Structure 1
Amino acid sequence: MATPTKDKDNFDDLLTCTICLETFKVPKYLPCLHTFCESCINTYIVSSVKKGKITEGFTCPVCRKIVSAVETLERPELWATTLPTNHFVKLMLDKRAIQKAEKMCNSCQLNKESTKANSWCTICEEAFCEQCEKCHKNFKMTARHKLLNIQEMKYGGTPFEVCEVQSCDEHPGKIIEFYCLDHSQPCCTSCATLSHRKCENVTSIQKAASGIKQSTRASSLSQKLRENVIQIGEIIDDRNKNLADIENSTGEIKTRVADIKTEILKHLDRIEETLLTELTSTTKQVGIELKDEVGMLSSYSSAVKKWKTMIDSVLDHGSDQQCLMEINKIEPKIFELQQEMKDLIKHIKSVSVVFSPSSPITDFIKNAQTFGRIKVDKSTVSSLNGNIEMKEEKVDFRTGNINILQVIDVCNGTGTTSGIFVQNLLLFTFRGKNKVVKYDNGGQSLLTELALPDSPEDIAVVTHFKVAVSIPPHAICLIDSDKMALLQTLNFPGIPVYGISFVNEEIFIISHGSTVTWINLSSGQQVNQKRTSGQSYFVLSLSQTDYMYADSYNSVDYVVGNTKKFTYTNSEFIYPRGLGVDCMGNLYIASNSSRNIHQITNTGEFIRRIPASAVGIEKPWTIRFAPGSNKFIVTCISSGKAALCEIVS
């Protein structure tokens, strides 16, 4: 008896639900092309909506992409039923069932009889015994249907193309019969009549799919997927190696610190503790950032591998129509993924933690105020295609000149705004019009805007495209800044809300007047609260333990854990408001009343005072730096304008 060869391929990964880890039951796929059992994704949707207290949609369990809710259905319990069925997976399940067990005649089963099936109809998707097969051929409507021998299919004697027809995703009761060349879209009769009746180039699906498996388009897509898998894998390996190097360098730095410690006196005990605290905090924060990058890249890798498996499987085992259908699904996703990858790679830095001992060591006890310096060195790594390598110009942030790149009239001449950088774009709050607006990275073009339920004040990045906006007196809105969609509105009765800063994806800090409050994002519960002397309208989280806030009309406190590291005060700034930090760790305090910005070190030492005129506005309100960049934005409280600036040598 013949032994199956190609059909013995292992499709367990392709046919296994990633939620229940069992073979698919009614496979449904999301817009990102990840497939799940209908019951599994239904349970996940209901749980996500209930947990997040949202009704606008849910995120894919694998790649975390947001899936919008079905507008016509109010009950989340019904969303899963509207998702399209993954017909290719369903047919592959039929294939495996035929290969692993005896198939019973479907017609006989309707009469409550059990008869072994001999053939499979690729049009009807049904199995027939010898007698029913004869009847099937005798009907005019089904006489020309293609029948395959089940025994030959089972043991590899017949190429397994389970089905010659495909169902329409938009009209599930119809089959695909046409293909619109103008829109590169498969159509059923309803689609062709309603949506493509004015198109000039509509042909049969058989003609459009003819030769597709041998086409350059199919082979190029398979090759492109393979290259993406390799490239993403290389970047993940680089991130993991970088993480290991950081962990190794931490041990080396501790050893060096210990060696220096043995040569000096008791005076070192106090500043050694300060250094080790800074080292632990810095290393942990860098580790979190690298793990976030690895996590995101892993999700991309998972998606591409899944698509690669899908396209290779349909090339080997699917029909031409199936091949065309899968290519139409995957091709636009590849372009979208590459765009996202390019945006992500632009921000990937090669990170190292470097220790610089203070000098002169020999006169340390008398003069030194710090044990040494922990800093993070970042350089941009090669992009996805391996042809572009970004190099940063060395800039002295403490003495460099300030160039005004663009002054943006966010609020049409009046009002208050706060702004941030998100994936090379600019987002601003517009208090007077109850909305958030998005500009290009040069601040020259308004791209889009999103209406909010009330007046927004501050804005902060949660992770990647996810953004949080404070809505006084007691609410915060979570936004998808890529799609400019409102994801969730969180209410905190009794907790005043104004300034906002994220410690990590789970914990954020909100401030208002005389309180600074820590909130768990997942549970919405208050974790901690600190009373201040007042004027604490903005807060800046610098690490897991470090944060800064105004504590009076002319002073700012820097706190590590529960210990105050320093208090900065200056007679030439009144009512400190927005707080910022550059990639070198220098701190910035905006003062609208004094019309200036104070730049200080992370130990509270004065560096310089930047007049408001130097950044192109009247009364500085908030200041934010682009991650790993010399660019920053300063907003104005009175004119509603924002200035995009850069520090250059």
Structure 2
Amino acid sequence: MATAKKLTDNHLTCVICTEVFTDPATLQCHHTFCKSCLLKYTKTQPEAVQAKSIPCPSCRQLTKVTTPDSPVEEWVSQLKPSHVIQGLMDDFKPGAEAADANVCSVCKTQGKTTPATSWCSVCDEVFCDGCLKMHNIMPMSRDHKVVDVSDATKRKTRHRFMCKTHKDKQIELFCKDCRMAICHTCCSIEHRKCDDVDILDNMTPLVREHLSNQNQELKIKMTTSENITILRKSQIKEIQTNAQNIKDEIRNIRQKVVEVILSKEKQLLDKVDRSSDEQLHELHAEIKSQEIELQMYQQQYEFTANAVTSNCERDMYAVYKSVGEASTDNRDTGNRPAPGRVVFTHDMDKLSKAVDDLQLGEVAAVRCVSDRQSTPVLHHNIDCKGDGDKKDTHLNDVTVLTVDGLTVTVVADYYNKNLKTYHTSDPNTLGNLLLSGWPWQIAKLSESQIAVSVPNNKEIVTVNVTPDPVLLSTIKTSKEYYALSSLSPSQLAAGTCRQSHSVDILDMTGRILKSINTGIIRSPDYIHVTSNGDLKVSGVNSLVCVTSEGVAVFTYTPAGVRALTFPRGITTTSTGDILLADKDSHKVIQLTESGQFVRDVLTHQDGLEYPRGICLDGDRFLYVTCGRFVRIFKFKKTL
């Protein structure tokens, strides 16, 4: 029953519902599912339904239906299980009693449950002691090999393979044309026109080998699917984190815009206060002046009234004289101009347009170079020509680091013998490190450390990026190494120009641990180590891939219009595709992981001139050095 359980678990279980098959149906690709599960899945695939086909949930292969005008339910109902699956379902159906395997076959036909003690390997039946005596007496079975029923090492696990059409006939043949196991009667009736029929014993090793190979392929596919699932989950997390960071940045920009608006509002309010205060001060002064004049007029009025009512003519004429003199003051205070008003003038149309035109930034779904249907678009350039440079800037290599959340671009300026660091989105230099010789290739050791080859001085320098480049150590080497890449935290892969066909593996003191033959490439120019430890090496007119043990994987040396003219920098995408800068053809080409040509990613029309160094930033932005510039490309989906 352990065999039955194993078969049930591994071969009689639907991968959709993970239960034992209920009314199984087998597709043309030989994958089997419950009909109800297959029906539900098919209804979720409108493209397959439109193509009048049933899609396989496992391999996506389409099975054409015989009655395309019928409903989907009829398409699925017409499917039949494979002969093997149906046979296994019948022989090892769930719920079979474990004790049946150890009950005497002869007694069971008589309704008895006598425990079996022996098993005949020829009859494939179990017997109790009494029935075994009869079995051994019969002339036809007396020479059969019989073993103890409990002897699992000698007892076969195979049961008799009986024909489902001719139930009393054992299946002993296999029709290769129909890929079916059949009995002799089936062969003579239904398969008489078939050309290739063999005995089952001859086919069993081949079928077993085929299924074993298929299992190996499935195991590889399972591993690949699992790795892709892990990658996609990490990408989901990365996308979610990136989305949150962008949202926070947008909110920060909005806050800054609001602060600018509030500042402008304060300026206007302050101006209103100043203008109003000036007007109020003027009015208060006027009121004070009028109050003084009023008091003076009141005094004159009282003095004149007293003179009129007085009986003394002398006093009256004295007052008359003084009034005449006072009347010569012609000040007309009542006709002074009114103070100005504070006026607020606005243009709502202009303001609305300004608000509509306000751009907090741009949000775009950037594709990655791994998407072979994506199109590169120049994002921006970094001009690495510095004010202090004594010679023309000549960038041999570039890498990108993330230092304390800051994306830093590091370039090797060959002619000026220095390393320069830049904020990726800011053209201003962050730092500059002068070297003793001409730097060639940069090897990324970590997110804050790099190693740089300085071949003319037989040196490899290690540098800490803070983001300023700070010299950590100088490693003296026995050869002039140009090509350089990090194989592990404690090992470097380096190539020399001395007509050598090998790449040396060095420790961090410069000691050669071993040499790897690159085959046809003489004097390797650039090296890239992939995530699985393979070495991609460029030089002359070829690209070679070898393992870290020196086993050749492929050599890419195309001819004709695709011939390489001067291959330089190399990098790989998250899916394993290879990007190679071909200097003199002004191109960046894309290859598959196995070295098959995919496309020209960038050409001279994209602004590429003699590209050398190349790297990827998170698989979304591609950095290429061209003379004094680092050209940064993003990728968009082609519509």
Asked which structure has the greater RCO (Cα within 8 Å, sep 6+), the reply is: 1
TM range (shorter): 0.3 to 0.5
What is the TM-score when the length of structure 2 is the normalising length?
0.41
